[in-house]
Amino acid sequence: MKFIACGASVTGPRHLDLREPNQDAMVLTGWRGGWLASVADGLGSRSRSDLGSRRACQVARQVLRATSGDLDLPAALPMLHAQWLKAIEPISPRDAATTMLLARVTAGGDVHAAQLGDGLLLMRCGGLFRRVTPDRTGYSNQTLALESEHLPEKWNAAVGKLTQPGDGLLLLTDGVGDDLEPDHLAEFFEALYQDLSTRNRRRGRRWIQAELEDWATPMHSDDKTLVAVFRTSK
| Domains by residue range for the chain, with CATH | 2-233 (3.60.40.10)
- The rounded radius of gyration (Å) of the Cα atoms in the chain is 16
**Model confidence pLDDT, tens digit, residues 84-112:** 999 999 999 999 999 999 999 999 999 99
pLDDT at 44: 79
**Closest CA relative to residue 12, chosen from 191, 192, 174, 207:** 174
196-213 average pLDDT score = 93
Q: How does the average pLDDT of the chain come out, rounded?
A: 91
Strand residues in the chain grouped as ranges (E): 2-10, 24-31, 34-41, 100-105, 110-116, 120-125, 128-131, 156-161, 168-172, 224-233
Beta-carbon-side half-sphere exposure of residue 91 (alpha carbons within 13 Å): 20
* Inter-residue contact 48 to 95 (CB < 8 Å): yes
115-132 average pLDDT score = 97
pLDDT at 109: 96
| Strand pairing report for 100-105 and 128-131 | unpaired
Amino acid present at 88: I
pLDDT at 47: 85
| Strand pairing report for 224-233 and 2-10 | antiparallel
Q: Is 165 exposed, middle or buried (0-12, 13-18, 19+ CB in 10 A)?
A: middle
pLDDT higher than 80, residue 202: yes
